[in-house]
Amino acid sequence: MFVLFFLCNLSLEPAAASKNKVKGSQGQFPLTQNVTVVEGGTAILTCRVDQNDNTSLQWSNPAQQTLYFDDKKALRDNRIELVRASWHELSISVSDVSLSDEGQYTCSLFTMPVKTSKAYLTVLGVPEKPQISGFSSPVMEGDLMQLTCKTSGSKPAADIRWFKNDKEIKDVKYLKEEDANRKTFTVSSTLDFRVDRSDDGVAVICRVDHESLNATPQVAMQVLEIHYTPSVKIIPSTPFPQEGQPLILTCESKGKPLPEPVLWTKDGGELPDPDRMVVSGRELNILFLNKTDNGTYRCEATNTIGQSSAEYVLIVHDVPNTLLPTTIIPSLTTATVTTTVAITTSPTTSATTSSVRDPNALAGQTGPDHALIGGIVAVVVFVTLCSIFLLGRYLARHKGTYLTNEAKGAEDAPDADTAIINAEGSQVNAEEKKEYFI
């Protein structure tokens, strides 16, 4: 009624006044901006006029219903409130916005003619919290798993991404469907992969990204439970087992469900010496190793999925005999040469020479170092050769004793008896006739 009354008053104004108003309103024009709001939020619609000569402003909805005329509320809707009203601005708020509020709103400036400006209100549909389906616990190792993540109510359609161990999985299927209201969408994504034991306990995450979530995506998480046969490994306490020492063999087994207590065997049978071979949990403790302990030891682990085993070949080594090296320091070997010269009355010369001997014997035990022994033998041979050389040189230079006058009377004797007598006479002075060649 008020709008109609106002329009009637405008039509009754004098023609001259109307002409002046049109002339003065040439520089007037309403300004608006598009608005985007999340469903359930509050939208502020603002219309401004830089130059206004007291001309009225009006907001109307997409159905062309007047919401406010200047500062007067025209539509009975408790969600719509006046923010500010002046000759230069008209601002209103729409709270608890729904998808049906979306559309084009109009700001009108009642000049002659009426000038308008459009503002489009976009309402974002918030996607619902995603749900993951298709997982049934437990899953056996090697099975093919198919997981589906689904969310509804998004506008525009939301984006779904998959992550496994914080690593994004790209090879997925994506499906978008329009909801019954023909405004929002339901989107789903399917992930297919074959599981193994490394997937046990891994969190698979479905993440929904949408502009209405203000950079805080919605997520759904599924922790995988994978059952698998045990894996077995034997770890020895020492890599070089020796006779007389203890040895601990640890059977390290992993599986889901956890394997039962392990079984130890030797060479395909029971442990031969339970007193020395003690089983404690997953450990086999062998006390005081000996050669009879050599053989193949087997550790076997079992769970409800299957059975697995590992083998360890034990070879007991002898304790090494560590001998300290013996060093023999040879003494200096000397050779003594003794020469005796005897003078006889015989006309021939005789000389007696004593043999060379080594008074120092090689003492000590023969060490294990053959190089050292060879060196000692070389020294002994060298000294012996030097002694022989010196002895030969000595004998060559000392010829013994001889007579300078060889009984000259015997040469002129007429017979043998006279020669003998002359020789005996000459023998008396033999000591005076000795000469030595030096």
The pLDDT of residue 391 is: 87
Query: Is the peptide bond preceding residue 257 cis, with omega within 30 degrees of 0?
Result: yes
The pLDDT of residue 26 is: 53
Last residue of a domain, one of 298, 314, 330: 314
393: confidence class by pLDDT, cuts 50, 70, 90 = confident
The pLDDT of residue 344 is: 33
84: in domain: yes
pLDDT tens per residue, range 110-144: 998 999 999 999 999 999 999 999 999 889 999 99
| Same structural domain, 105 and 162 | no
CATH of the domain at 178: 2.60.40.10
Least confident of 74-83, 189-198, 427-436: 427-436
355: in domain: no
15: in domain: no
**Range 187-207 average pLDDT:** 95
Give the range with max mean pLDDT: 16-20, 91-95, 430-434: 91-95
85: in domain: yes
Give every CB contact of residue 144 below 8 A, 6+ residues apart in sequence: 192, 193, 194, 195
The pLDDT of residue 8 is: 32
Burial 102-121 (b: 16+ CB within 10 A, else e): beebbbbbbbeeebebebeb
Decide if pLDDT at 255 tops 70.
yes
Residue, of 395 and 92, whose pLDDT is higher:
92
Least confident of 159-168, 193-202, 240-249, 358-367: 358-367
| Same structural domain, 239 and 274 | yes
371: in domain: no
The pLDDT of residue 375 is: 84
Last residue of a domain, one of 297, 314, 331: 314
The pLDDT of residue 189 is: 97
| Same structural domain, 220 and 289 | no
Decide if pLDDT at 20 tops 50.
no
Q: Percent of the chain scored above 70 by pLDDT?
A: 74
284: in domain: yes
Last residue of a domain, one of 291, 314, 337: 314
Number of domains composing the chain: 3
Residue, of 411 and 321, whose pLDDT is higher:
321
The pLDDT of residue 11 is: 35
Least confident of 216-220, 233-237, 253-257, 320-324: 320-324
Give the range with max mean pLDDT: 50-54, 249-253, 408-412: 249-253
| Same structural domain, 265 and 287 | yes
Domain, as residue range, for 254: 229-314
The pLDDT of residue 286 is: 95
What's the CA gap between 269 and 248, in Å, rounded? 19
pLDDT tens per residue, range 331-384: 433 333 333 333 333 333 333 323 334 434 333 344 456 778 888 988 898 899
| Same structural domain, 214 and 278 | no
**Range 174-191 average pLDDT:** 95
What's the CA gap between 315 and 402, in Å, rounded? 85
Decide if pLDDT at 329 tops 60.
no
Q: Percent of the chain scored above 90 by pLDDT?
A: 61
Decide if pLDDT at 422 tops 70.
no
| Same structural domain, 146 and 164 | yes
The pLDDT of residue 389 is: 86
The pLDDT of residue 214 is: 85
174: in domain: yes
257: in domain: yes
* Average pLDDT over all residues of the chain: 80
